[in-house]
Amino acid sequence: MEALEARVASMADLFEEEKMKNEARLMKERQDRMRGEEQVKQLQAELGEQRRIAERVVIENRRSVEEEEFEQLREQHAREKRRLENDLDRERESVAALKATLSQQSTAHLTMESTHSALRNQITALTTDLDTHKARIAALEAELVDTKRSNAHLENELREAESLRRKLHNEVQELRGNIRVFARVRPSVRNDSVNAVAQGGAAADGTAALASIRYPNEREANQIEILAAGESATGTATMSKHIFTFDRVFQPSASQADVFEEVAHLTQSVLDGYNTSIFAYGQTGSGKTHTLEGPADCFLTGDDPASHQGAGLIPRAVQMLWGTAEALKDKGWKYDFEGQMLEIYLDGINDLLGRESFDKAKHEIKHDKTRTVITDAVVVPLVSPQQVFALLEKAKKRRQVAATLMNERSSRSHSVFILRVRGQNATTMECCDAVLNLVDLAGSERLSNSGSASDPQRLKEAQSINKSLSSLADVIAALGQNKASAHIPYRNSTLTWLLKNSLGGNSKTLMLLALSPMAAHQSESLCSLRFATKVNATHIGTAKRMLKVDG
């Protein structure tokens, strides 16, 4: 009990102690709270003060920003004002300009109105004119129809007249005999002076002396006269005059077109079925190739070498034959052409269109009644003048190759272009088959002038040329005897044997004698002129048309 009482007493002490501690703590807490509240009040007062300061700062900042903005706005307004003032000035100026334009345009408008009314009057007048013209055009159209009709009629008549002209030309040709000789004297060329200087025969001014040549019968243009210095039997110097008459003589001034004009009809007769041969004869350098072909690059002159003013007989004849064949289509004719290009050198044949660039084949010439065949030689169907020119150029190159290989042999070989023409007329059932030979003969100079004395190859060439040219003369002379039984020595040379079917009574022959104008060549010219005179004196009978009617 005592323990319990002691315990209660200690517990009461503890309780008292605890109570006192609590009160002390509560009092302390009250004190702390009172101190905190004071601090809070103080802080709140400070905070209020800070807020006021901050608000003042904010207000001041805002005011300064607003002042800046105000300043910017003021400047912007000032700028805007200036810009507007400028715009206003400009607008004022443009209004002033527009006012000026307006006043001009009003004036222009007034002018235009008066022009307009004048034009309207003009239109009325023109409309009246137009009506008149329309009526006139209608009348002219009617006239044109009439003219076309009468043109067609005239064209028909012209075609018939052309046929008649061709027939008459052939008849005249037949009456005059079928060998014609034309002589052509070439102008002096630069090479003449070069050669004369080289041979010491040039005049003091470096030019070569010209032969004394005259053309007595200007109107007929068929005579040439050469005045040659010589010696009498007693040794006195003499001057002899040699006059030669041919079918036509061309002076150095004659153009290629002038020469062709005279030869055109003859070449054209191949379309009528006449075998025709044209030989260019003369000494080396006398103008044979120039007359037949033209300048060196004559077949390379664009698409149409025949239109070149220097073009020779061959390109012109080819162009004309194709043109005429085309025109004759209206009359029912259809023509086929084929060609061969050969060279005769040392009496042998070289095929200039052969497969090899230098032909080594041995060719034989075979004849039947109308046709001549050269074995192993190329025959090319020809479809256009351009194709012919290309082949002629090829042949020319081949000849040059051979010439380079064989020392200028082109002057010492004959070149033969054979153009075979076959025609058929579906309306009349006529058909024809004829050949045009265009032959550039080798230089005709005599042995003494051919440089053959010192060179055996030259001697062989010169002998071969002489043989073939004299065979040609013999054949022509034999044909001139006009005897059915006469022996014609065609076989004496490859040239005459090749051309057998195109020489003689059945065909037309033209010898184009080329002559140099130079004094140094005068004696050769006289020889050529004498040869041509013999040919000209030959009268070969009537040419026969190689024409038959089918059915």
Ligand X SMILES: Nc1ncnc2c1ncn2[C@@H]1O[C@H](COP(=O)(O)OP(=O)(O)OP(=O)(O)O)[C@@H](O)[C@H]1O
Distance CA 45, CA 52 (A): 11
CB of 305 closer than 8 Å to CB of 294: yes
Rg (CA), the chain: 58
- When asked if residue 437 is in the footprint of ligand X (CB under 6 A), the reply is no
For residue 250, the minimal CB distance to ligand X (Å) is 8
- The answer to whether 517 contacts ligand X (rule: CB under 6 A) is no
Is residue 282 involved in binding ligand X (CB under 6 A)? yes
CB of residue 526 vs ligand X: minimum separation in angstroms?
Answer: 17
With binding defined as CB under 6 A, does residue 315 bind ligand X?
Answer: no
Instruction: Classify strands 179-185 and 248-250 as parallel, antiparallel or unpaired.
Output: parallel
Output DSSP code: residue 255. Answer: -
Q: Which residue is nearest to ligand X (CB)?
A: 287
Q: Please identify, using beta-carbon distances, which residue of 273 and 282 lies nearer to ligand X.
A: 282
Rounded Cα–Cα distance for residues 321 and 274 (Å): 13
DSSP annotation of 438: E
Residue ranges of E strands in 32-117: none
Dihedral (Cα; 278, 282, 286, 292), 10-degree rounding:
10
285 marked as binding residue: yes
Q: By CB under 6 A, is residue 206 in contact with ligand X?
A: no
- Residue partners of 263: CB distance under 8 A and separation at least 6: 182, 278, 313, 317, 510, 512
Cβ-based neighbours of 259, under 8 Å, separated by 6 or more: 182, 184, 250, 291, 313, 512
User: Rule CB under 6 A: is residue 286 a binding residue for ligand X?
Assistant: yes
In the chain, the amino acid numbered 204 is: A
The least distance separating ligand X from the CB of residue 228, rounded to whole angstroms, comes to 21
**Which span sits near ligand X by CB under 6 A: 184-192, 361-369, 390-398, 531-539?**
184-192
Length of the chain: 551
* Beta strands per DSSP E along 348-440: 348-351, 365-367, 372-374, 380-382, 414-425, 430-440
58's tokens: 């904010």
| Minimum distance of ligand X from residue 388's CB (angstroms) | 20
Tell whether residue 542 is among the known ligand binding residues.
no
For ligand X, the closer CB: 363 or 399: 399
CB of 421 to ligand X, least distance (A): 26
Annotated ligand binding at 348? The verdict is no
Q: What is the DSSP letter of 518?
A: B
288 lies in the binding site for ligand X (CB under 6 A) = yes
Q: Is 287 annotated in some ligand binding site? A: yes
CA pair distance 529, 550, nearest whole angstrom: 45
- Among positions 187, 206, 323, 381, the unique one binding ligand X when judged by CB under 6 A: 187
CB of 331 to ligand X, least distance (A): 36
Nearer to ligand X, 359 or 524 (CB): 524
Nearer to ligand X, 272 or 445 (CB): 445
User: How far apart (Å, rounded) are the C-alpha atoms in residues 436 and 423?
Assistant: 14
Contact 513, 184 (CB under 8 A): yes
Residues between 485 and 514 with contacts to ligand X, criterion CB under 6 A:
514
| Smallest separation (angstroms) from ligand X to the CB of 482 | 32
Does position 312 bind ligand X by CB under 6 A? no
- Min dist. Cβ of residue 323 to ligand X (A): 24
Is residue 443 part of the contact set for ligand X (CB under 6 A)?
A: yes
- Please tell me whether residue 285 binds ligand X under the rule CB under 6 A: yes
Contact status: 416 vs ligand X (CB under 6 A): no
Instruction: Please give the DSSP secondary-structure letter assigned to residue 247.
Output: S
Return the ∠ at Cα 273 (arms to 174 and 543), rounded to 5°.
25
Nearer residue to ligand X within complex by CB, 178 or 522? 522
Residue 323's nearest CA partner among 258, 271, 273, 257 is 271
Stretch that binds ligand X, among 283-291, 327-335, 382-390, 518-526 (CB under 6 A): 283-291
Tokens standing for 367?
A: 């004849």
Name the minimum Å distance from CB 443 to ligand X. 4
| 108 vs 156: CA distance, rounded Å | 64
CA 288 to chain centre: 27
By the rule CB under 6 A, 186 interacts with ligand X = yes
Residues in 139-158 that interact with ligand X by CB under 6 A: none
Output 252 or 489, the one with its CB closest to ligand X: 252
Q: Can you say which residues are annotated as belonging to the binding site for ATP?
A: 282-289
Q: Can you say which residues are annotated as belonging to the binding site?
A: 282-289
Binding site for ligand X (CB under 6 A): 186-187, 189, 191, 282, 284-290, 295, 410-411, 443, 514
